[in-house]
Amino acid sequence: MLDAALRRRIDPPIEALAGWLAGRGATPNLVTLAGLGLGLAAAGSIALGAPLVGLVLILVSRLCDGLDGAIARQTRPSDLGGFLDIVFDFIFYGAIPLGFALLDPAQNGLAAAFLLFTFYANGASVLAFAIMAEKRGIAETSGRGGKSLMFTVGLAEASETLAAFVLACLFPEWFVWIAVVFGAMTAYTCLARIVLAQRLIGEG
């Protein structure tokens, strides 16, 4: 929901930093891989009882997630890069709730499972819609940062996911409520996308 508005503010500094990194030999796929490594390290830190360390790692990981596409646009975009970006994003999104589940299985396990379920359903709707949109020639990605796949606007997008993770790291004792509320937002986003698919690509 907030991605497009925030992108207008953060794109200029991201593009400038990406140009600096590209001039020093950084490649998009290397930055994508670094972002995944930092994200997994964040989940590990949370599981080991250091959510504030996890928070710092999450923020740097998401910076890498913005930089890889910007570097690609300034050098040479590739289908492999787009594939790795989306796959690694979903791995990261699943790793953070898992970290909180491992931190306190008795308290956080059920809420983390619910959040992961909604992530799974929403991720399936994202990818399936993107495939169908491409097949029907209605895919348009320029408003979403020129991504390799079409992403529809939803209540729970990357910005909201990051905000939920940040809140959970700052207030780990509130993880259950954060996970339930954000899981409900994610489920709504999935259902809204299904309705949109029926309207745009439905057969009848």
Quote the DSSP letter at residue 25. Answer: T
Using alpha carbons, list the distances in angstroms from residue 120 to 21, 39, 115, 123, 178.
33, 18, 9, 5, 17
Q: Are 159 and 66 in contact (CB under 8 A)?
A: no
Structure tokens at 177: 């409520």
Nearest to 152 by CA among 118, 126, 183: 126
Helix ranges (H only) for 23-104 are: 28-47, 51-74, 79-103
Domain ranges of the chain: 3-201
What confidence score (pLDDT) does residue 201 get? 73
**CATH architecture assigned to 3-201:** Up-down Bundle (1.20)
Quote the DSSP letter at residue 140. Answer: -
What confidence score (pLDDT) does residue 5 get? 57
What confidence score (pLDDT) does residue 143 get? 47
Structure tokens at 2: 């907030």
Q: What is the mean pLDDT of each run of 10 residues along the chain (204 residues)?
A: 61 83 87 97 98 98 91 86 92 98 98 97 90 72 49 72 97 98 95 86 62
